[in-house]
Every structure is written in C-alpha cells, then in structure tokens.
Amino acid sequence: MQVVELIAAKRDGHAIASGDLHQLIAAYSAKEVPDYQMAAFLMAGYLRGFSHDETVALTDAMVASGDRLDLSGLSGPTVDKHSTGGVGDSTTLVVAPLAAALGMQTVKLSGRGLGFTGGTLDKLEAIPGMRTQLTEKELLAQVERIGLVVCAQTADLVPADKAIYALRDVTATVGNTALIASSIMSKKIAGGAHAILLDVKVGSGAFMKTADSARELANICVALGTSAGRATRALITDMDQPLADTVGNAIDVQEAIEVLKGEHQSRFVDLCLTLVGHLAALSGVAPDARTGRQQAGQALRSGAGLDRFRLLVEAQGGDPHVVDDTSLLPAAPTIIDVHAPQDAWLATVDAEAIGRASGALGAGRQKLDDVIDPAVGLSLHVKIGDQSHAGDTIGRIFARDGQDARNAELAVLQALGWSPLPVSARPLVHEIVDPAQGLDEVSFNNSNETGRIHEN
C-alpha cells in the first residue's frame, strides 16, 4: 500500500477501494503510518467527501481495529441508544432502566461531557461510590443479572477511532458528516447490541444546527447500522431549548430519580417514553413504537423503572439510598433563583449559551482531563411557549460562590428571548429515519459542520 497514492487519489476526488481503506486504518493503528499522512488523508476526505462504500469500509475498518463485545451469551434482546449530544439531555438515566424493566438488555457505553454538552458518566459519578469503569466480564454479568449497564468503553474497543478523532480534533477535520457517522457507529457496532437507536439532536443546543445536516447524519448512521446487520433507527429531535429542567450532574441525577418516581410531566419525560417505545419495537419486545411507549409508561407508573435504576446504582458500587434520599447527592453551597424580567411568553432559548453557563459554573469541561464539580449547575423551569410574569421564579443557579452565581444568572437571562404574544414550540420529534422508509444515497456525498459533535 502506497499511502501517498491514496492521499492523492482522495485529493483528486477518486473513490478509495474498501481493501485499501482497511489497510490504511490497520497500518495507522499499528503506528506504521505517521500522523502527518493520516492528517493529509483526512483533510482530502473532508474536502472531497466519502461515498457510501467508503464510509462503510471506514466504519468496518475501525471496528476491526480492536475488540468487540460478544453479547451472544445474553438471554434477552440487546439494545443500545446514542444521543449526539445536547443541553439538559439525561435521557439515558431514565431510558435504560425503563428498557430493562420491559425485558430489554441495555448495554450503554457512554462518554463524558465536553464543551457545552453533558456526559452520562459524569452524571452517574455524582452518585457517591458509583463506578463507571467495568471489565468486560463484569459488564456481561451485570447485564444478565439486572438487565442494564451504563459504563465507559474499554481502551481496546475501537482504538483506531480514538486515535483518528484526536487527530481530527487538531486538524480541523472533525465536522465531516461521514467521519462523524463512522466514529459514532464504529463504537455502536463494536458494542455488540442487536438494536441501535440514535437520537440525533437539531437546534440551538445541538451540534447539528439545521434540519438538513441532522437528516444527513441520521441517514448515514442508520445505513451504517443496517449494513452491519443491526436493527437501526434514528429520531431527529428538538434541541432548540434544554430538554430537561436541569443542566449539571448531581441535579440531573435528582431530576431523573424524580421522573422515575412519576413526579414529572414534561418534554423530557415525553422523549424518554418515546425512545423506549422505539427501542421496544426495534428489539421485538413490542409490535410497534406506540405500544412500546405505552408499556414504558406502565413501567414508569408502577415503579419498575425506579427499581431498575436502584439496581444499577447498587451493582456499580453507588449508594442506592440516593434513590430514596437525593440529599445524599453533592450539593452546591450557593443557590440563587432566576426571575422573569417581564410579563411575556418565552419565545427563544439559546440552548448552547445555557450549556456554556452551566459549564462555566464548573459542571462541564473544555478538555477531557478537566475536573468537574458534580454539585454545580442550573435549572430552567420555563419552556418555549410558557407565559411568565415579571418576578416569577423561572430557574435556579447552583454555584460555588456568589460571584459565579450572579455571572450564571446574567448568562441565563441573556440567553432567553421574550414575546408579548403567545408562541409555540417546535415539535419534540421532527423526523423518524428508518430503513423501511428508504435512505437517500446522495446523503453520503457529505457536508461539513463547523462544530464539535458528541461522538461518545
């Protein structure tokens, strides 16, 4: 294999054969190809795009670079859910327990928060004693015993993706949709689950800001999953405002527990039930998503989902008493309320700004080795379309000190747009992308986004 020839071919817009892509990824993983050559190839692909066959080959090659989880010994239908990242997105904390309560075996390999998005592992680690690093043996045994696991992926799972992503991050090639999709789906496929559901966010708090870019990513991911023999579906969901009320870590866990206790009715609950419904349909637990959603609602009302969450916490070393007493979670020393500035209807939310305000409090990180504070964050109780009166409490800041709290309060108020007339929010689910509906082949001649997407 002549790497220079592959770079030149991609630079000139030619298709690269599957075998050559496999050799390139394998050689780079073995450190036989230097970073500068892989960087040149990635930039050529970023500018020229990747075809359907090239994207499939890239994904297969990254999967082949490391271990795969073998879930064939598990007794139930195996499922996995992935979100492309957003603000106030704690759905895994609710979806995984509910799916387990319906008889699905949920294997969720999650990531950490970066930039303005939160990370499931950070949220779980706010629970005293909670472990998120498990061996494969521990992972499989736990899934068989209680029906779910939420943990970090091992270093041996898709190592090529980790190396290539690090290179993309410093060479301005993160945003290519095919590269994003192959990164996401290589980890999902290597994770072993038979059914894969993708929650592709679109809007001000998402990395995909437009419907077209979200649809393109969803189409590619679904096609990759289907090519790998997995039952795959994607929902394109709204992120023009924070999904849940809270944006942080410990406070997100508290809200998830309240949801599992049946104490919330919100867009967050609505999406969680919808996601479980689609997982149930994909895995064969329910005949269709509507029935699956109804079953999820029953599991929520009966407390079966809460019981599974308690088992999850206990199985991974956490203190299960937090389920009954959330005061055991880390608490911020300074709490102030945010008040509505006028009589009006909430019309717009800069959800990314809300996420960054939470991060500035210490709830997020800019680099993966940054240390977060699990106690801090913020809540926003109003949603687009809600009417507020001047002085109403519309949110709360959980901070380390008064100055941090006041800075976050100002950032939240600046992120909100108000209208003197009633307004309506966009639908929660914009589209469903399913192989039965057909996939747009043109979507593989891909676009480039400038943001950083959550590929973990």
* Number of Cβ atoms within 10 Å of the Cβ of 322: 23
Known catalytic residue at 82: yes
Q: Please count the CA atoms within 13 angstroms of the CA of 355 that sit on its side-chain side.
A: 27
The one catalytic residue in 89, 122, 161, 350 is: 161
The one catalytic residue in 123, 168, 233, 454 is: 168
* Number of Cβ atoms within 10 Å of the Cβ of 441: 11
Contacts with 276 (C-beta within 8 Å, 6 or more apart), sequence order: 95, 98, 99, 102, 292, 293, 295, 296
Dihedral (CA of 313, 316, 321, 325) sign: negative
Tokens representing residue 343 in the block: 């009589």
The one catalytic residue in 108, 187, 188, 356 is: 187
Known catalytic residue at 12: no
Known catalytic residue at 168: yes
Q: Which helix (H) or strand (E) holds 447?
A: none
CA distance 177 to 75: 35
The one catalytic residue in 29, 182, 183, 227 is: 183
Tokens representing residue 229 in the block: 């023999």
DSSP 8-state code for residue 205: T
CA distance 366 to 362: 10
The β-bridge relationship of strands 416-419 and 344-349 is antiparallel
CA distance 428 to 374: 28
The one catalytic residue in 48, 81, 82, 162 is: 82
Do 340 and 391 contact (CB within 8 A), yes or no? yes
Known catalytic residue at 65: no
Q: Which residues are catalytic?
A: 82, 161, 168, 183, 187
